[in-house]
Amino acid sequence: MGILDGIVDWLATQVMNLLDLASTSVLGALGCNMDTFKRYFPAASSMYEIFIWTAIGLVLLNLVWQLYRCYGAGFDIDTENPINLVVRSVIFLLLIWYCDDIVNLALQIGGTPYTWILDSSLPGVQFGDFNSVLLIIIGVIANGSVALIALILVVILAWNYLKLLLEAAERYVVLGILVFTAPLAFAMGAARGTNNIFKSWCRMFSGQLLLLIMNAWCLKLFVNMVGEFLANPLSL
């Protein structure tokens, strides 16, 4: 049983070391800026200008079509007031042109609490120490193959924490997609019939930004809990 316990203990330690590496990498790379997204998806930056001009074309096309319905095909019950239509189109053309600055400003506002959360002072935690603490606790309260029980608990802990990290990465990717497709969403706001699409994009963007911040908060709370547990393992 000594050899088996040694192998199981080594496996548990390696699992926690890998979890420590993943935690450091993910939390350091993610954020409310698009630097990591641009590094892994460089085509998004090169195609952003295409979306800008496509969005401008959609707004102008809608403007011409709606004006034609008003003046060329006669006034229709469903047509929008021409003055309101022109004003709305001009406003959204300006929003599309300065879309990058607007979105970056929103990311900076959302990134402020995110940075505060990541920079909050917490005791340094090495997840590799968690297995040795579990061995101490289980050795006190249980008999038998202590290392095997510790390995099972470590794997359960690592899997749930890894899911939190993957969820944070997923939120970041979705936020990046919303950022780089923002011009098309802004173009939808110029037409009365597609204005709900623009409103839905605004809700999705703000929601993903909030969820990304909450993911960082939950991960920090988890790291804090592990740090307190490692400091006082038998005080439970």
For residue 236, the SS3 value is coil
pLDDT by residue (tens digit) across 195-219? 899 999 999 999 999 988 888 888 7
DSSP output for 28-88: HH-SSSSHHHHHH-HHHHHHHHHHHHHHHHHHHHHHHHHHIIIIIS---TTPPPHHHHHHH
Token digits for 80? 């929008």
pLDDT by residue (tens digit) across 18-53? 666 666 667 667 777 888 888 888 888 889 999 999
Instruction: Provide the percentage of residues in the chain whose pLDDT is more than 90.
Output: 25
What is the mean pLDDT of the segment spanning 117-137?
A: 57
The predicted model scores a pTM of 0.74
The residue that leads in pLDDT, 113 or 200, is: 200
What is the mean pLDDT of the segment spanning 78-96?
A: 86
Band the pLDDT of 9: cuts 50, 70, 90. Answer: low
CA 198, distance to chain mean position in Å, is 20
CA dihedral (149, 154, 155, 160) positive or negative: positive
Q: What is the mean pLDDT of the chain?
A: 77
- Residue 145, pLDDT score: 56
Band the pLDDT of 8: cuts 50, 70, 90. Answer: low
What span, in angstroms and rounded, lies between the C-alpha atoms of 124 and 104?
32
What is the mean pLDDT of the segment spanning 62-71?
A: 83
List the single range of 95-104, 163-172, 218-227 with lowest mean pLDDT: 218-227
CA 219, distance to chain mean position in Å, is 13
Highest mean pLDDT out of 60-74, 121-135, 217-231:
60-74
Q: Is the pLDDT of residue 5 over 60?
A: no
